[in-house]
Amino acid sequence: MCSMYSTKKNRYYLLSNNLNFILDNHSLRTRAEDILKTKSSKQQDSKDSIDSKNSKDSIDSKNSKDSRDSIDDFSPEKMRQLIHELELHEIELTIQNNNLISAYNELEMSRALYFELYNRAPVGYVTINSDGIILDANLTIAKLLGIEVTNQLINMPFTNFINYQSQDNFYFFQKNLFATESRQCCELHMLDQNKKEVMVSIEGIVDKDSAILDDTVGRLIINDITEEKRILKEKQEMQAQLFYTSKLTSIGILAAGLAHEINNPLTIIMGNIELMEDDCNSSLDVNKLEQINKIKNASIRITSIVNSLRNFARPDTNHLEKIDMHKCINETLDLVKEIYKKENIKLEVCFHAQNYFVQANIGKIQQVIINMLHNAKDAMAKNKEGHIKIVTSNNREEDLLIEIKDNGIGIPKENVCKIFDPFFTTKDLGKGTGLGLSICHAIINSIGGTISVESEDVFCTSFKITIPRTSI
| 107 Cβ contact partners less than 8 Å away, ≥ 6 residues apart | 4, 7, 8, 11
Judged by DSSP in three states, 320 sits in coil
| Predicted pLDDT of residue 4 | 42
Give 45's Cβ-side CA count (13 Å radius): 2
For the chain, residues with pLDDT lower than 50 are: 1-9, 11-16, 18-19, 21-23, 39, 42-69
Report helix, strand and coil shares of the chain as percent, to nearest 5: 55, 20, 25
Q: Could you tell me the pTM of the whole model?
A: 0.45
Q: List the one residue out of 267, 364, 283, 367 whose CA is nearest residue 321.
A: 364
| Predicted pLDDT of residue 45 | 46
- 201-242 pLDDT per residue, tens: 999 999 887 655 567 899 999 999 999 998 988 888 777 777
- 65-107 pLDDT per residue, tens: 444 445 556 677 877 787 778 888 888 888 888 888 888 888 8
Q: Which amino acid is at 322?
A: K
Q: What is the CA radius of gyration of the chain?
A: 48
